[in-house]
Structure 1
Amino acid sequence: MIRRGWLFALAALLGLALAAGGFAWGWYGAGSLRQEKAFVVRSGSSLANVAQQLEEQGAIGSAKAFLLRARFLGSNDPIKAGEFLLPAGASPARILSILQGNEVIRRFVTIPEGMPSIMVHERLMAEPLLTGDVPMPTEGSVLPESYDFERGEPRAAVLARMQAAMQRTLAELWAKRAPGLVVKTPQEALTLASIVEKETGKPSERRMVAGLYSNRLKQGMLLQADPTIIYPITRGKPLGRRIRQSEIAAINDYNTYSMVGLPKGPITNPGRESIAAVLNPAKTDALYMVADGTGGHVFANTLEQHNANVEKWFAIRRARGEM
């Protein structure tokens, strides 16, 4: 009789062990995904909702079994919102770990320094993982930078972050501005920074170019910035040809060859460093600049010096067969 009871107890223990093993295997064993899969957890989603979505998408066999095992075998850490990549064959335990961890897929849209708003709009509209329409942003309202976004996020939300970043950056840099600036408002600083951004491709020249244009504004000289001729024609896109004499003489709110002072607004979206350069320009007497053939410029204080520099530039272009 004792022997029979012992056998029953042993059988019961063995059954419990097998059940526990099966319970654990269902949690730690290979899952049902045949190939890796992107999975999105919306903000505010509960684990129950996520489990149901995982079942519907074939990542797990049963939402109820997943929740039961998660309760006893899983971590109590909260799941995170975002897009995750679930590996092929991932166990339920691995899936929960991914959703609770820092393995969110980060997607980015990049706005280079000096990209005009018409092209910012095109870039946002061309991103297939964003949703909804968005108006063309006001010129100069977007801070050039890389911005992360979630799959399915509205384009308007991403644009709002870009514009908020510009507002914060402009306020921060304006508070640190040097005394005695020719620009009197943040908007004027933004407009001049957009010209500086388009006039030089060398970061080391930004403060010098800003100083030169500040000098011209103080003396009431024409800025004579070529990009201000192009902006009314293409809204900042490359012109693709040489500027015509009629365009140089055109009278409008942007062309600084036919008007004294700043254009009526920015001609592109300037980066942080161009804004900083305008708010802390180089102390220089330079009033003129011309290309030097290396992507930079030669600066001059007098028209006589400038004309000599122009002749050198023409000689470089003739040697290249450009003239």
Structure 2
Amino acid sequence: MRRLLAITIIVCSLLFGWFWMMYNYAMNESSISNEMGSVVVNIEKGQNLNQIISTLDKKGVVDGPWFKWHVRFEGAANRIQAGEYEFSPGLTPVQILNFLVKGKVNQYAISIIEGQTFKEVLRDIREHPAIKKTLPEQASISQYLTLLNIPEKHLEGMLLPETYFFIKNTSDVDILRRAYRSMQVFVNSAWPKRDVRTVIPSVYDALILASIVEKETGAAHERKQIAGVFIRRLEIGMKLQTDPTVIYGMGDGYDGDIRYRDLRKDTPYNTYTRYGLPPTPIAMPGKAAIDAVLHPEDTKNLYFVSNGDGTHIFSETLKQHNAAVNKYQRKQ
């Protein structure tokens, strides 16, 4: 009897030792070879443990039965998070479970670029393969505002240019609402620290002018100068006379060229025919353009003209401005 018990103990010990050796080998040896490359696995919401392990097994990233033992042993059966994961060669099942429990899902990115219009932002979002599309392709601004639950009258200029990171199947609504909240946080925190100008009485007015500054120059060192010129024009009751507002008011009628008749055709955005700021921003202003409007350069200049290299020549008088136009634009 004692002999049988001893044999049983030895056999059980050997079996346990074999099991433990195989378990440790299976958990610490990667199933993903360099030849396979990175493997993308999508864990759906609501999948049970058997379904999750079957998905991982079919993709070749774990040995299903051994991995199930490991998940149970770690008490992680109910802690695996849904999402899209990318597992690179060399990752062990232990590391893979760590990814799944911590939710280290794939991160995607989309950038809203300074100077983009809402229409252009919406196009980029619609073309991004990882974003879930829920918004209609054609809708009015008021319809988009309702669908986004954004309490504004217009969406132009209300989304902060940034790079936004997200997981696969994040909706277009979520992305746009994040960009709107980011703009609100930034501009409302910057507004109390502004250099007070009576011609810019509200945050919205600041965004309107910042969008014009954004479209007028790509040269960082000029933004405060150009903001100062526009603010001085507003202060003395002079028309802004800026081409980007005219172009925005032309909508789809703009073909790449702006003509004299376009400058004479009145629209709510034609700052050659109307005084003051246009009714809405004309693009998405970046942080630097907003800062330029809130802290403009004090200047006597009233005019500027492109010198052909992306920067501008500034002038105090119309005579100086016309001379600069002749030199740099008309090549006289």
**What's the TM-score once normalised by structure 1's chain length?**
0.85
8 A contact 2:106–2:168 mirrored in 1:
no
Alignment of 1:132-147 (within 5 A): 132-134=133-135, 138-147=155-164
39-48 or 151-160, which moves further after superposition? 39-48
What is the aligned partner in structure 2 of residue 308 from structure 1? 323
Distance 1:21 1:186 in 2: 67
| Equivalent in 286, 292, 295 of residue 310 of structure 2 | 295
1:164-221 CA-partner distances (Å, limit 9, x unpaired): 1111111111121112342001111111111100011101100110000000001110
Distance 1:202 1:57 in 2: 50
Distance 1:251 1:244 in 2: 13
What is the letter of the counterpart of residue 18 of structure 1? W
Secondary structure of the residue that 2:215 maps to in structure 1?
A: helix
What is the aligned partner in structure 2 of residue 173 from structure 1? 190
Deviation of 1:57 after TM superposition, in Å, equals: 5.2
Distance 2:2 2:82 in 1: 58
What is the aligned partner in structure 1 of residue 25 from structure 2? 25
What is the aligned partner in structure 2 of residue 274 from structure 1? 289
Deviation of 1:43 after TM superposition, in Å, equals: 7.5
1:291-316 CA-partner distances (Å, limit 9, x unpaired): 12221111111112111211211354
| Equivalent in 220, 230, 237 of residue 247 of structure 2 | 230
Change in CA separation of 1:55 and 1:167 when aligned onto 2, cut-off 3 Å: same
Q: Does 1:152 align with 2:169?
A: yes
Q: Which runs of 4+ in 1 moved over 6 A?
A: 1-5, 42-49, 74-77
Deviation of 1:130 after TM superposition, in Å, equals: 1.1
Identity %, equivalent residues: 33
Distance 1:128 1:290 in 2: 41
Q: Does 1:219 align with 2:219?
A: no
Change in CA separation of 1:50 and 1:178 when aligned onto 2, cut-off 3 Å: farther
Unaligned runs of at least 5 residues, structure 1? 319-323
Alignment of 1:71-82 (within 5 A): 71-72=72-73, 79=80, 82=83
Q: Does 1:249 align with 2:254?
A: no
Deviation of 1:242 after TM superposition, in Å, equals: 2.6
What is the letter of the counterpart of residue 253 of structure 1? P
What is the letter of the counterpart of residue 280 of structure 2? G
**Aligned Cα RMSD in Å?**
3.1
Distance 1:41 1:176 in 2: 47
What is the aligned partner in structure 2 of residue 126 from structure 1? 127
Distance 1:314 1:178 in 2: 34
Distance 2:231 2:50 in 1: 62
Secondary structure of the residue that 1:298 maps to in structure 2?
A: strand
Change in CA separation of 1:206 and 1:46 when aligned onto 2, cut-off 3 Å: farther
Distance 1:121 1:5 in 2: 75
1:224-245 CA-partner distances (Å, limit 9, x unpaired): 000111102236x9x4533112
Change in CA separation of 1:8 and 1:100 when aligned onto 2, cut-off 3 Å: closer
Secondary structure of the residue that 1:211 maps to in structure 2?
A: helix
26-35 or 287-296, which moves further after superposition? 26-35
What is the letter of the counterpart of residue 264 of structure 1? P
Distance 1:190 1:133 in 2: 28
8 A contact 1:74–1:93 mirrored in 2:
no
What is the letter of the counterpart of residue 245 of structure 1? Y
8 A contact 2:105–2:167 mirrored in 1:
no
Distance 1:219 1:129 in 2: 50
What is the aligned partner in structure 1 of residue 152 from structure 2? none
Change in CA separation of 1:134 and 1:176 when aligned onto 2, cut-off 3 Å: farther
Secondary structure of the residue that 1:255 maps to in structure 2?
A: coil
Unaligned runs of at least 5 residues, structure 2? 145-154
What is the aligned partner in structure 2 of residue 209 from structure 1? 226
Distance 2:193 2:49 in 1: 47
Q: Does 1:164 align with 2:181?
A: yes
Distance 2:32 2:75 in 1: 19
Change in CA separation of 1:296 and 1:105 when aligned onto 2, cut-off 3 Å: same
